[in-house]
Chain A
């Protein structure tokens, strides 16, 4: 132990101590998560479709360069080309693959534009509600003094009738916000705001629960004992550990935000009529759905497929991020 220098031959004697195979690089957590996610077919397809839809609405206008607001009265009420399969008399035009609406606007272009609005509202509202939920959850979990009051507020928000209040808020604040920010931006701020402000409660509860458990662990004690400030503890130690439940509620939040925005548009309190979103396109098409069912079906299918894929992605993420299930 004191001055013996161990020679190479001696080391051979301790062969049992050596690794049988060369050491591998340690696997990161996210690698494990990805491996598990790959096994969930629904999540893969869902994620792929979500990516496709996002690219479709982002790059779509560059490829499909017809202006969604351009009126073309001569070519109004065209049917989609696939109606030719069963009805050879239908008025169709190959340059308008999904037909045109009653003012001659190209449906493909309006679908892309509507998707942009719907996805933008969905993402922004989801991010807002996540940020709010995480902030409140972390504060309630970490600071004991705030816990009681913040959780009372959360319970209170959970007892609010959300859809009626959304309707009330949107109808009441439409005018002032439109006057201040213009019809489209004002409405966007309003809808994102009200959806975000009324959907953060679940995230806050989940994050609070996780933080309460994490706070008692040794690494937090260690961090505190070397004088780390609460802010640093939260950003360096707590937040990275609550990322997985936040991601799962993010997928749920995106799905609900898209559905809520469409529902508001459907009830007629959404965006102005010349600003298409999927819900707006659907509700505008309802009065004439007997003659032109595709105008209802196409945006409806897009909403449903997007929400379905987000839900499947969330399902897979929940399994992949749960270390107890992982590896099974």
Chain B
């Protein structure tokens, strides 16, 4: 198992390199000019010098190499310095945003907690809702609950988040006035009142994202439970007199969770993509919204770094899903 994990880790390096190269080349084709915002009074020679200072005059492969060095070598050093108070990265050039002229990773780190809060909470809430629904609708297959569950998850699949988000804003924020429609990221939670405010502003974005998760995972849970409920070992467990709750909740559930857990791991990067829309809608200043503003402002280093972070997440969670599958299911042997 360990050798498999290590082999997969090494295999993911060329994948990530090719992805980063693809994103880089795509961005090279961009027609935008970072000097477009500079006042017209600045003479063209100065603009040219500024471009060269940003590294734009260099050939493509040099630019790519510099970005790689900055991202894979200098940024980890900065992180190391930050944690242990050392001074490895002092004076070295980091990935600089064209928009704010500050290091990209600093901004990403500022924005990350908001995204992680909303996205992470929504995923956890979605899973917590989905699992009982999936278990019960498989146990009572074709019952009214199962039919309703199927219908609701079909709706969850079909309603895009930008519509369900707008609908909940209209209903709960405009008509009923229960929850604020704008997420206030400056809120500091230090007592009960601010906690309630935080809870109220999180409910809508979390539920909108969770609807999608719930729809998907409850379907998987149901299918996986159905596969296992008809197996011989279930009959054996019942025959030896185990209580029904033990049979379903211990024997069947543990075996059904194997594929579901991998699906959960595989879904995590996708939810970050979905967060772009939800963050725009509820005005959460997370990394999805950062990507969007950077795109419109033609801030290529920021776009490059953010897109690559998304790619790392996907590759990482694919790997985790593969490894988990092998760990959880002793029948799977990769070696």
Contacts and interface: CB of A to CB of B under 8 A. Distances in A.
Interface of A: 42, 155-156, 158-165, 167-169, 171-173, 175-176, 255, 259, 262-263, 266-269, 279, 282-283, 286, 289-290, 293, 296-297, 300, 303-305, 307-308, 311-312, 315
Contacts of A290: 170, 174
Given A164-B276, A165-B23, A172-B29, A307 B160 contact: yes
A296 to B, nearest CB: 5
5 contacts: A164-B273, A164-B276, A263-B277, A293-B170, A308-B154
Interface string B21-37: 01100110111100000
**8 residue pairs, one from A and one from B, having the closest CB atoms:** A161-B310, A300-B163, A308-B158, A163-B273, A307-B158, A266-B162, A304-B159, A172-B30
B108 to A, nearest CB: 13
Contacts of B169: 289
Nearest to B269: A161
Given A176-B31, A289-B174, A159 B163 contact: no
Interface string B9-24: 0000001001100110
B311 A161 contact: yes
Contacts of B154: 42, 308, 311-312, 315
Contacts of A293: 170, 174
Contacts of A175: 31
Interface stretch (B202-210, B228-236, B256-264, B291-299): B291-299
A163 B276 contact: yes
A200 B32 CA distance: 29
Contact of B15 (A156, A279, A282, A305): A156
Contacts of B314: 158-161
B: interface residue count bin: 35 or more
Interface of B: 15, 18-19, 22-23, 26-27, 29-32, 154-155, 157-160, 162-163, 166-167, 169-170, 174, 269, 272-274, 276-277, 280, 291-292, 295-296, 303, 306-307, 310-311, 313-315, 318
Contact of B158 (A167, A296, A311): A311
Contacts of B26: 165, 168-169, 172
B310 A311 contact: no
Given A176-B31, A267-B277, A307-B158, A160 B166 contact: no
Nearest to B310: A161
B15 A262 contact: no
Contacts of A315: 154
B14 to A, nearest CB: 9
Contacts of B19: 156, 159-160
Contacts of A304: 155, 158-160, 163
B306 A164 contact: yes
B136 to A, nearest CB: 21
B155 A308 contact: yes
From A267, A296, A312, A315, residue with most partner B Cβ within 10 Å? A267
A164 B163 contact: no
A283 B269 CA distance: 25
A160 B21 CA distance: 12
Nearest to A155: B15
Given A161-B307, A312-B154, A315-B154, 10 more contacts: A168-B26, A168-B307, A173-B29, A262-B162, A283-B162, A289-B169, A297-B167, A300-B159, A304-B155, A308-B157
A259 B277 CA distance: 12
B291 A167 contact: yes
A255 B154 CA distance: 12
Contacts of A266: 162, 277, 280
A159 B315 contact: yes
A259 B273 CA distance: 14
A303 B276 CA distance: 19
Contacts of B276: 163-164, 167, 267
A318 to B, nearest CB: 12
B304 to A, nearest CB: 9
Contacts of B273: 161-164
A163 B31 CA distance: 21
A156 B16 CA distance: 9
Contacts of A296: 163, 166-167, 170
A173 B272 CA distance: 24
B220 to A, nearest CB: 15
A287 B276 CA distance: 18
A176 B307 CA distance: 23
B311 A303 contact: no
A282 B166 contact: yes
A326 to B, nearest CB: 18
Contacts of A262: 160, 162
A195 to B, nearest CB: 14
A163 B170 CA distance: 26
From B163, B307, B313, B314, residue with most partner A Cβ within 10 Å? B163
Contacts of B306: 164
From B166, B169, B276, residue with most partner A Cβ within 10 Å? B166
A319 to B, nearest CB: 13
A142 B166 CA distance: 47
A86 to B, nearest CB: 13
A168 B160 contact: no
